[in-house]
Structure formats: C-alpha cells, structure tokens
Amino acid sequence: MTTTQAVHQSAPHQGEQQARTVFLLAHTGRPAAIRSAERVVSGLLRHGIGVRVLAEEAADLPLPDAVERVASRQSAAEGCELLVVLGGDGTLLRGADFARTSGVPMLGVNLGRVGFLAEAERDDLDKVVDRVVTRSYEVEERMTLDVLVRNNGSVVHTDWALNEASVEKAARERMLEVVTEVDGRPVSRFGGDGVVCATPTGSTAYAFSAGGPVVWPEVEALLMVPISAHALFAKPLVTSPKSVLAVEVQPKTPHGVLWCDGRRTVELPAGARVEVRRGAVPVRLARLHHASFTDRLVAKFALPVAGWRGAPH
C-alpha cells in the first residue's frame, strides 16, 4: 500500500437514483469563504446534490432551507460522498478530523496563502462543482500519525495528526530538555524549542519551517525534526514508516506542550514521554489534477526555475 493510492471515481450510471450529499465546511470568518460557499451550494443544489453543513456555521452563511444542518461532531460527514473545505490550511486540517472519522474524501479549495493540502483555488469554484457533479476526481490516501503520551508508565493521552505532532517548550524564556528515540534506542539529548514528528504530508508545514527536508507524499516515512536545538548532533531524521519515534521530556526541565496539527494541545509534565507511530487510519484526499508534486512545490513556494531547458529526450 502506498501513501498516495489513487482511485478513480466514475460518473453515476444512467438511471441511478441514489441520493447524493456533499458535506461543506467553510472558514466563515472570511468574507471570501462565505461568497464561495454560496456559489458552491447553489451549484450543487441546482444539479440535485444535497448539501450538509455544521449548524454552528449555518448562521453565518446565506443558505436556502434545503441545506441540511447537523451538530458539530466527528461523525458529521458520515453518509456523504465528499467533504468540500473552503479556507486555508487551518480549515483544511479541521476538515481532516471529519474526513478521517468518516472515511469521506476531502476536497480543499484554498482561500488562504500556501494551501498545500488544497486541490483548487478560489477561481476554480465552477470547475469544482462540475467535477463533483460528474464525479470526475481521484482519491489518494495520505499517511497519518497515531500519538500517545505516557506519564509514570501509564498512557494519559492519545491523539492523531495528519501533518505533525510537535513537542514544544511551554515557557518562552526556558529551553526544553529532551531525549529523542527511534525504535526503542536513544538518538540524542539536547535542549531547544522542541521536536517535530511529521508525515511526508507535513514535511512542507511546521517541519519545513524548522529546517526539515521536503518529502514527496508517495514516500512512506516518518520525520523527526529538532526545533532550534543547542546540540552538536540535532539533525532532521527520516525513518521507516514502521518506526516508533519517541520524545522524552527530561525530569528536571520545565514542562512542555504537545501540539497535534497545531490545533489540539495537551500539557506535558517533566518526565512525560510522547510516542509517535504511523496512524492506523489514513486521510483520503480528492484530487482534480494530475500535476506532479514537483510542480505543486514550485507553484506553492514560487520557486525560481528560469533557465530550465527541460529533461533530455
């Protein structure tokens, strides 16, 4: 099984009567997201496709009565064929919670800055609606992380992440002293701002900012990237997807904080141990384009490629 297993979604057979519903998630704090949601909803309803939204967002969106409102719970997208997210990376990561729980593919429309998880831009809304209506998209699976926290030998917290799980210092003026571990063996002890444990998907997020490598999504691997470490050996590591990464907060250091995808957080007392392994449940992403990740990387980071003559034939 690869990280990016593509599955073509064929158009419905003629005479097919099965009801179709799309779950829509939007960053309602952005005027652009509200306008975009209105266009997407009207387009889907016009083609007989039902739309479901969170009740807490419905009040901020100009929605007709035909739109289904549901409570905000992890199972909110169950029974839908697609989850369409309108917003930046933060909104897309929020959508990943629903996508992972329900197994529904997530299609992101970027209304933020970089938007590596997004498949379309705001100018593509009509195209997005058309592709959803005709089911002209592919689905790929992205690797996730399962995260657990131990304290005094007992598991005190479990979580998951699509991009990264980061162990960070809680006090700005103090370093966090940690020991990193791979597959039950110690690697290095250092003080610094923390450690990022990431998936290939997350290699272009926090891990990238911390100096980690860019890893192509189809590569199956785990990353461990120190953050501002004061040590002779504190280099980014790329390990097997079967590895178990661990970060131990040293007993005499100030407490730390665990962040999962920059959204969910839990305090780490001195002596706590964070273990990170490949997640049992992937997140499924809907793709409209066949562009290579290299092209996506160049476009998202506006990398200079002038002077390239093309690969030899």
Spatial CA neighbour of 260 closest among 197, 172, 170: 197
What is residue 166's DSSP assignment?
E
Q: How far apart are CA 49 and CA 133, in angstroms?
A: 8
Q: Cβ neighbours of residue 213 under 8 Å, at least 6 residues apart?
A: 203, 223, 236, 238
Closest CA to 39 of 79, 95, 86, 96: 86
CA atoms within a 13 Å half-sphere pointing along the CA-CB vector of 218? 7
Binding site as annotated, residues? 89-90, 94, 163-164, 174, 193, 204-209
Cβ-Cβ contacts under 8 Å for 228 (sequence gap 6 or more): 192, 193, 210
- In this structure, are strands 120-121 and 137-142 parallel, antiparallel, or unpaired? unpaired
Q: Cα–Cα–Cα angle for 301, 140, 264, nearest 5°?
A: 70
| Positions at the binding site for NAD(+) | 89-90, 94, 163-164, 174, 193, 204-209
Structure tokens at 174: 């103090």
Q: Up-side HSE of residue 101: CA atoms within 13 Å toward CB?
A: 15
89 is annotated as an active-site residue: yes
Classify burial at 152, counting beta carbons within 10 Å of its beta carbon; exposed 0-12, middle 13-18, buried 19 or more: exposed
Helix (H, G, I), strand (E, B) or coil at 267: strand
Catalytic residue among 60, 65, 89, 183: 89
Q: Which residues are catalytic?
A: 89
